[in-house]
Amino acid sequence: MKMTFRWFGSNEEKIQLADIRQIPGVTGIVGMIMDIPAGEVWPVDRIKALRKEVEDSGLTLKVIESVNIHDDIKIGKPTRDKYIENYKTTIRNLASQGIEVICYNFMPVFDWLKTDLVYHLPDGSNTMAFFKKDVIDSPEELIAAVENSSEGFTLPGWEPERLAQVKTLFAEYINVDEEKLRENFKYFMEAIIPTCEEAGVKMAIHPDDPPFSIFNLPRIVKNREDLDWIVSAVDSPSNGITFCTGSIGTDPNNDIYELIATYTKRDRIPFAHIRNIKFLSSEDYYESAHLSKEGSFDMYKVMKAFHDNGFSGYARPDHGRMIWGETGRPGYGLYDRALGITYLHGLWEALEKSKK
Ligand code: DNO
Ligand code: MN
């Protein structure tokens, strides 16, 4: 297991590489170039500059999260071929700078969704939460619910100025059901996987968050059946999964320990997001601290499933709470993620030593 920390860039957040460098056991950054729109080529000089900045601070840059997929690819429009060519160029450019893993998702229109970005816990910290009743009939109602409970923060991608665009996109998905979305996924993967193999890059799909359909949009990364289909759609080690416990595990029917064991054994997890959640009902939950006793997952079993099946990929603690008065991008504070890392390392060390 190689422990990493997600970083959005020096212009994007207060946390600096020098801070991350001081978290014990962290060797690398999960990086991103925020201002390149989905569909455009990532230029080599931009990647090189990011790499240099990260390496100068004593860390490595081996994982990118995310190179987002243009909606025309997911919808299957004729323009998709141009975007696929751009994606291939981006893969080659990233590989030329030593990148090994590209995390991405295949969710139509928008990325992850929570209904509360600032949910207060009794200990004085706050975290993100999901209440199914707030994902009502329309995007507008959802936005209102989020605004109400999030103290000025907005869901990324749902900013008011983007709403008109979001609505047009919804209309474009009208004829895209799950079958069609799968077909479009396969078309995309068949086109890019040979490039990945050649360049030595692994694609790692992030599960849908939450793992069910919202506003009638199709979703194809929700459960074991979906994951099985995905890894077989193009049978290559370059077609992998970002195993995110806190997304796929929010459906209580998904046995995360089993799933981790299965896909680790099959060598299809180049990247893992490891965190805990606390169920408030079978569908509502908040993102708890990482410890088993703070949430609903058995984190020892999670780490054991990775460990005992030979996990050697990159991992990050995923989201954390906001603690000790920290403010900023919800889920991405420094302190609670650092605490989470230390705990995950503790579990890992115990697993390593008890094996001998
Ligand atoms: C949330 C993240 C996601 C993830 C994308 C991957 O914080 O886990 O935004 O980066 O879904 O493409
Ligand atoms: Mn995740």
Nearest C-alpha neighbor of 239 from the set 270, 209, 207: 270
Are the C-beta atoms of residues 284 and 232 closer than 8 Å to each other? Answer: no
Are the C-beta atoms of residues 217 and 108 closer than 8 Å to each other? Answer: yes
| pLDDT confidence band for 215 (50 / 70 / 90) | confident
Distance 247 CA to ligand 2 centre (A): 6
Please compute the mean of the pLDDT values over residues 151-178 and round it to a whole number.
Answer: 81
Distance 44 CA to ligand 2 centre (A): 27
Alpha-carbon 354 to chain mean position: 31
Return d(Cα 7, Cα 17) in angstroms, integer.
8
Tokens 């979703």 sit at which residue?
219
Terminal C-alpha separation, the chain = 18
For residue 102, give the 3-state DSSP assignment: strand
Please report, to the nearest 10 degrees, the dihedral formed by the alpha carbons of residues 113, 283, 254, 119 taken in order.
Answer: 50
Please compute the mean of the pLDDT values over residues 57-82 and round it to a whole number.
Answer: 97
Q: Is 104 near ligand 1, meaning CB less than 6 Å away?
A: yes
Q: Is 206 near ligand 1, meaning CB less than 6 Å away?
A: yes
Distance 146 CA to ligand 2 centre (A): 20
3-state SS, one letter per residue, for 291-316 = CHHHCCCCHHHHHHHHHHCCCCCEEE
In the prediction, which pLDDT does 259 show?
Answer: 98
- Choose the weakest-confidence range: 168-177, 314-323, 329-338: 168-177
In the prediction, which pLDDT does 356 show?
Answer: 61
Give the percent of the chain with pLDDT over 70. 99
Please compute the mean of the pLDDT values over residues 212-219 and round it to a whole number.
Answer: 90
- Does residue 18 surpass a pLDDT of 70? yes
| pLDDT confidence band for 178 (50 / 70 / 90) | very high
- Choose the weakest-confidence range: 60-69, 157-166, 333-342: 157-166
In the prediction, which pLDDT does 167 show?
Answer: 80
Please compute the mean of the pLDDT values over residues 231-251 and round it to a whole number.
Answer: 98
User: Could you report the per-residue pLDDT of 249-299, keeping only the tens digit for each?
Assistant: 999 999 999 999 999 999 999 999 999 999 999 999 999 999 999 999 999
**CA-based torsion, 129, 30, 26, 22: positive or negative:** negative
Beta bridge partners of 21: none
* Domain at 2-354, CATH from 3.20.20.150, 3.40.50.12780, 3.40.50.2000, 3.40.309.10: 3.20.20.150
Q: What is this structure's pTM?
A: 0.96
Beta bridge partners of 242: 271
Please indicate whether residue 332 is annotated as part of the active site.
Answer: yes
From 206, 226, 286, 314, the catalytic residue = 206
Are the C-beta atoms of residues 43 and 80 closer than 8 Å to each other? Answer: no
- Residue ranges per structural domain of the chain: 2-354
Closest ligand to 249 CA?
2
Return d(Cα 95, Cα 198) in angstroms, integer.
10
Return d(Cα 140, Cα 146) in angstroms, integer.
10
User: Could you report the per-residue pLDDT of 113-156, keeping only the tens digit for each?
Assistant: 999 999 999 999 999 999 998 876 677 777 777 777 777 777 77
In the prediction, which pLDDT does 140 show?
Answer: 75
Please compute the mean of the pLDDT values over residues 326-354 and round it to a whole number.
Answer: 97
Please compute the mean of the pLDDT values over residues 56-66 and round it to a whole number.
Answer: 98
**Average pLDDT of the chain?**
94
Tokens of 124: 């004085």
User: Could you report the per-residue pLDDT of 89-116, keeping only the tens digit for each?
Assistant: 999 999 999 999 999 999 998 889 999 9
Return d(Cα 74, Cα 69) in angstroms, integer.
8
Q: Is 71 near ligand 1, meaning CB less than 6 Å away?
A: no
Please indicate whether residue 120 is annotated as part of the active site.
Answer: no
From 83, 87, 332, 343, the catalytic residue = 332
In the prediction, which pLDDT does 155 show?
Answer: 75
